[in-house]
Each structure stands twice: as C-alpha cells, then as structure tokens.
Amino acid sequence: MDSKDVEVVGRQLGRAPRGLRAVAHRCPCGNPDVVETAPRLPDGSPFPTLYYLTCPKAASAIGTLEGSGLMREMQARLATEPELAAAYQAAHEDYVARRDEAAKEQGVEPLPSDMQSAGGMPLRVKCLHALVGHELAAPGANPFGREALDALPDWWSDGPCV
C-alpha cells in the first residue's frame, strides 16, 4: 500500500492500522474508505475482517442506521424471504472465498472454515459497517450491504474525513 494511504487510514482510525493489504475502495473524496486486511496479523493471530471500513464519516452515518432498528428489520426478513436469505448466504461464501484467497496470496494458513465471516453472515445481521465494507469492496456481493449503502447520505459531500 502507498505510504500516503497508510497515513490517511491511520488518521481515520486514530491508531496505526494492522495487517493492511490494499485499499479495497476509495471514497468519492479520494481517500480510502475500505481497506483489505490480512486474514492473519503479523503475529499469526486470526483477523476475520477482510474488508474494514475506515472512514469515520461513513462509520458515523452507518451507526445512525444501526440505531434506527434497520438491522432488526433485516434480520427478520431473513426468515421470511428465502431469496434474500440465499443471497446473504452467497455473500458469506464470497467473503470467505476472498479471505481464503488473501491467505493463499500471503502464504499463510487460511482461517478455520467455521470461523465467522463478517457482520453476522450468513445467519445474523449484526454489523452494517462490515456489510457495507463488503459491498463497497465487491459491488453486488452483499444484499444488506447494498441496502444500507443506498440508505446512507453522501457522507463525503462536505469534504474529506481527514
């Protein structure tokens, strides 16, 4: 990763980033807003969050969505909309496959197959930040990430976060 991007991500997070592999998505302002992280940190410990949302403005807007009860509504829909549940299962499988590929590229052991993917997938909706990060990094991959993204305001419209 470019050293300027690493610096920006550190300022966004308020700490040194860990396990960075790449910028997975850029905000319309030009800054990274999602990074791809290594499935294992340098000390070998597992890090299941492949796509990490870094932009504090986006994170704040998503937090507002989470506080609105949107996740409970999404969770309830998994039980009543089989096509949506299937798409969410496919999102989970996509996430795990991408994470396993990242491990292979780094020459490290993939995470255990029963380890969580992100955001509660495939059976729960528990973190819209992770689901939006997945959708931004892999457009069309995550149905709930897409819905949440579509509900967000243009967080970048008043300028970059850092």
Q: What is the pLDDT of residues 48-59, one digit of tens each?
A: 999 999 999 999
Sign of CA dihedral 72, 76, 77, 79: positive
Q: How many CB atoms lie within 10 A of CB 106?
A: 13
- Measure the CA–CA gap between 95 and 110, rounded to whole angstroms: 13
pTM of the model: 0.96
Give Cβ neighbours of residue 114 (< 8 Å, ≥ 6 apart): none
Residue 23 region, left (φ>0) first, then alpha (ψ -120 to 50), else beta? beta
The model's confidence at residue 115, banded by pLDDT at 50, 70 and 90, is confident
d(CA 126, CA 119): 5
Distances (CA, A) of 9 to 4, 15, 16, 27: 9, 9, 8, 12
Q: What is the mean pLDDT of residues 98-120?
A: 93
13-63 pLDDT, tens digit per residue, is: 999 999 999 999 999 999 999 999 999 998 999 999 999 999 999 999 999
Give mean pLDDT, residues 109-123: 92
> pLDDT band at residue 67, thresholds of 50, 70 and 90?
very high
Which amino acid, one-letter code, is at 67?
G
The CA-to-CA distance between both ends of the chain, in Å, stands at 18
